[in-house]
Structure 1
Amino acid sequence: MAVNATGNHILIVGGGYVGLYTALRLQRRLRRELQEGSVRITIVDPQSYMTYQPFLPEAAAGNLSPRHVVAPLRRVLPKARILNGKIIKIDHDARKATFEPVEGEPRDLSYDLIVMAAGSVSRTLPIPGLTDIGIGFKSIGEAIGLRNRVLHQMDLAESTEDPELRRRALTFVVVGAGFAGVEALAELEDMAKDSTRYYTKIKPEDIRWVLVEATNRVLPEVGPEMGKWTLDQLRERGIDVRLDTRLESCVNGRVMLSDGDSFDADTLVWTAGVKPSTIVGDGGLPLDERGRIKTTTRLTVAGTTGAYAAGDAAGVPDVTHPGQYCAPNAQHAVRQAKVLADNIVRELRGQDLVEYHHKYVGSVAGLGLYQGVANVYGVKLRGFPAWFMHRTYHLSRVPTLNRKVRVVVDWTLALFFRRETISLGEIHRPRESFRDAVAGNNR
């Protein structure tokens, strides 16, 4: 069944940074057209919210409420139609996309313009046992699940008399020393260390954190000098950092590294890179050598008309560094969305499109409460100043005033009250207690 468009129908595949910010700007720029019905916007995403991923580590550590690091699409984009599900096939010649809802039969959506903003997924390797104990760190569900996991393991270690079980429960492995891995590890290590005050049998030094990185550096985004400083800071905190080391196996929780070491662990966080969303390969659009949608400097899909792409799923040429591509990060995604939306408006009005031009300003990273590292416009900061810049910058990037205020309130309360250290692992299995009760009554 096809859904026919009335007027210009803009289909946005993905409700992340690019999808949300593109639709937000189109709402403002095309207010009259949307009211008249001559333009329609549809967003397709499995979730009904956009996750501000730079705040996932703080949500995992309990510094921010999970609800405040996501933006509800229907509330933020009242002029757009939100469809929950995924696009499984695109026939751009026919201007038709096959939509598979969360429940129900697939159906076709017709469109006039399409925006490929599907983002990325975790890039994994065929490592034996990875799914046994592994968890990613790209969604709010994974972040809160990991927080509950760490606290649950501490509860388990406090309650057992078995030294092997205790050691295994208190061993946590993070694979990948980029932004996601280092920030997640630093925040969770800080939270776990702070939580030991409430346990009688667990000391900070009993908890083992292992960071595994296949290259010879951490946080390459902040430059060699600040990356070296970060490495020294992590090691001073007792974190076991393994550079030039690969994870070879983790079957049944037995972690085996390429340096010959092996040990038991129940928790492994995988942050070793990302790859374009699966729809990119099934979209019928041209791809570059890295499997991304081949994109021009005007954020149009190369060799096509009526198709745009940006963000992690797109290979956008960097005009400030000829021959290179824009990095897949939030800084570029938000700015690309602005240019992309403006170019759509220009196309609808018969005007010439403009190039995306943005010189990378640098990077900031949080390393736990009051600790951070930054390299912005060549200015290198560490410790509290970098931590403050990290929070200030990302607060300015959070969509909507509503979410900005809620984040500030969370941070303000954290100045006066200690963060909560409660494991709510049962929220991932809400029917388990009821099933046990039913089983007990049937005996």
Structure 2
Amino acid sequence: MPRPRVLVIGAGFAGVECLHRLERMLKPEEAELVVVSPHDYQLYLPLLPHVAAGVVTPQSVAVSLRRRLRRTRYVPGFALGVDTRRRQVTVRTVEGAEWEIGYDHLVLAAGSTTRLFDIPGVTEHALGMKTLAQAAYLRDHVIGQLNAAAVTNDPEERAERLCFVVVGGGYAGTETAASLELLTREAIRRFPHVDPALLSWHLVDIAPRLLPEIGERLGAAAMAVLRGRGLEFSLNTSVTRVTPRTVELTDGRTLRTRTLVWTAGVAASPLVHTVDTDLVRGRLATTAELTVPGADDVFAVGDAAAVPDLAKADGSITPPTAQHSQRQGKAVAFNVAARLRGTAMRPYFHRDLGLVVDLGGGYAVSRPLGVELSGLPGQAVARGYHLMALPTVTARTRVLVNWALNATTGSDFVSTGFQHGRPATLPDFEHTDVYRPA
């Protein structure tokens, strides 16, 4: 008899953690393990702002699947659609060929993409921070703006190139703005013909306060620190239109800029719309055991899944965080193994351990287990958490060495020309146009 096939879609926190656990829980003869992902690495997403700022190298946060998963067969490509009746997933390889792969048990851990909303110009002109390529490109772009500003004789163009706008006041947008502002403040000292006073960073968010996820007091503390560095904030404000040289805001102002970084939330992977089942807030509805109702032997976890949050009594679903994704990966591995062996599954339960927001420059805000920390103690907790959360000793060592080198030697300001001359829009980097409707 052939071995049952466990097919995992996605190599993020949830998918890789699931497979890592299954390799340890199941004997080779119990199941064939297969993962479909366009990249042969697991990305440690929380450190992307450090990659964009040049504090850590891209390789440090890209953990090789072949280093972590020894028995799993890796299929490079995009999962385009799921047919739960035929138990088939359509896959497009990186070269463009399409084929179908069958499954006995399917784990959908397809992750998320940047939420764009229906705002004119965002898709064409905004830059994202969701993939490793986007972080590397953003660093090149920012340094390129400084280089261009240094040589132009047009005062208006110089002001546009030295104005940077970040949309999104959550931890991703705040860390990105904080890290890149430090980078440009340090870099501009190497441009003697550019007035540092022209450099400006703006953070725009529709929420009434910064970092609502971490609490009012810590959010206010982070905002005060960033204001002291020169960041400008536009809260209770959104974007109405974007052009190659302007960002128009709902308060009537127009910011003249060549750089808009869009971090205003995430949306579940478009793959979820190919599954014939119910969605909750755009994510696949699941049971507490992480199964998808109406789809036999299909599980969903991570950002693509609306998992009941049993730690709360208000009927809410778990937020799309790395913390929940990683722990859902462990939980779904247990339940897949239970389904294979005919034993009882367990509901997913995890109480949020808190968030950490590293603002660089020796400052962070953290709330581990409800304890509020800021400044150097907050940064010690934030970086300690990241080191523990990185999945391999090799990755931890690389990141630790990168941090130490940056702290002792400072940054270099080199534009590598990555993606130069190629389309660099959000759909180009995140491949949101390859999916099929249900």
Partner AA of 1:145 in structure 2 = Y
State the match for 1:434 in structure 2. Answer: none
Asked if residue 414 in structure 1 is aligned to residue 410 in structure 2, the reply is no
Asked if residue 57 in structure 1 is aligned to residue 57 in structure 2, the reply is no
**CA distance, structure 2, for counterparts of residue 104 and residue 288 of structure 1:** 29
Q: Which has the higher contact order (CA 8 A, sep 6+)?
A: 2
Instruction: Report the CA distance between 1:94 and its aligned residue.
Output: 2.1
State the match for 1:76 in structure 2. Answer: 68
- Secondary structure, counterpart of 1:344 in structure 2: helix
**For the Cα contact (< 8 Å) 1:132–1:253, is it kept in 2?**
no
**For the Cα contact (< 8 Å) 1:293–1:309, is it kept in 2?**
yes
Instruction: Report the CA distance between 1:305 and its aligned residue.
Output: 3.0
- Secondary structure, counterpart of 2:348 in structure 1: coil
**For the Cα contact (< 8 Å) 2:140–2:418, is it kept in 1?**
no
167, 170, 194: which is aligned to 1:202?
A: 194
**CA distance, structure 2, for counterparts of residue 82 and residue 261 of structure 1:** 49
Asked if residue 300 in structure 1 is aligned to residue 296 in structure 2, the reply is no
Partner AA of 1:280 in structure 2 = V
230, 243, 259: which is aligned to 1:267?
A: 259
**For the Cα contact (< 8 Å) 2:188–2:194, is it kept in 1?**
yes
Partner AA of 2:302 in structure 1 = G
Q: CA RMSD in A?
A: 1.6
**For the Cα contact (< 8 Å) 2:60–2:398, is it kept in 1?**
yes
Structure 1: tracts of 5 or more residues without a match: 432-443
Instruction: Report the CA distance between 1:104 and its aligned residue.
Output: 4.1
- Secondary structure, counterpart of 2:77 in structure 1: strand
**CA distance, structure 1, for counterparts of residue 96 and residue 248 of structure 2:** 43
**CA distance, structure 2, for counterparts of residue 85 and residue 393 of structure 1:** 31
**CA distance, structure 2, for counterparts of residue 349 and residue 196 of structure 1:** 61
157, 163, 174: which is aligned to 2:166?
A: 174
The structure 1 segments of at least 4 consecutive aligned residues displaced by more than 3 Å after TM superposition are none
80, 83, 94: which is aligned to 1:88?
A: 80
- Secondary structure, counterpart of 1:211 in structure 2: strand
State the match for 2:362 in structure 1. Answer: 370
Q: How does 1:220-369 map to 2 (within 5 A)?
A: 220-284=212-276, 286-322=277-313, 323-369=315-361
Structure 2: tracts of 5 or more residues without a match: 423-438
**CA distance, structure 1, for counterparts of residue 105 and residue 331 of structure 2:** 15
**For the Cα contact (< 8 Å) 1:173–1:211, is it kept in 2?**
yes
State the match for 2:93 in structure 1. Answer: 101
Instruction: Report the CA distance between 1:240 and its aligned residue.
Output: 1.1
Q: Deviations over 1:370-398 (max 9, x none)?
A: 11111222211111111111110011011
Partner AA of 1:130 in structure 2 = V
Asked if residue 217 in structure 1 is aligned to residue 213 in structure 2, the reply is no
- Secondary structure, counterpart of 1:297 in structure 2: coil
Instruction: Report the CA distance between 1:179 and its aligned residue.
Output: 1.0
State the match for 1:388 in structure 2. Answer: 380
Asked if residue 10 in structure 1 is aligned to residue 6 in structure 2, the reply is yes
The TM-score normalised by the length of structure 2 is 0.93
**CA distance, structure 1, for counterparts of residue 293 and residue 196 of structure 2:** 54
How many aligned positions are there?
Answer: 421
**For the Cα contact (< 8 Å) 2:52–2:139, is it kept in 1?**
yes
Q: Deviations over 1:47-71 (max 9, x none)?
A: 2211101010111111101111111
State the match for 1:439 in structure 2. Answer: none
**For the Cα contact (< 8 Å) 1:133–1:253, is it kept in 2?**
no
State the match for 2:429 in structure 1. Answer: none
**CA distance, structure 2, for counterparts of residue 113 and residue 130 of structure 1:** 38
**CA distance, structure 1, for counterparts of residue 413 and residue 250 of structure 2:** 35
Q: Deviations over 1:104-124 (max 9, x none)?
A: 432111110000000000110
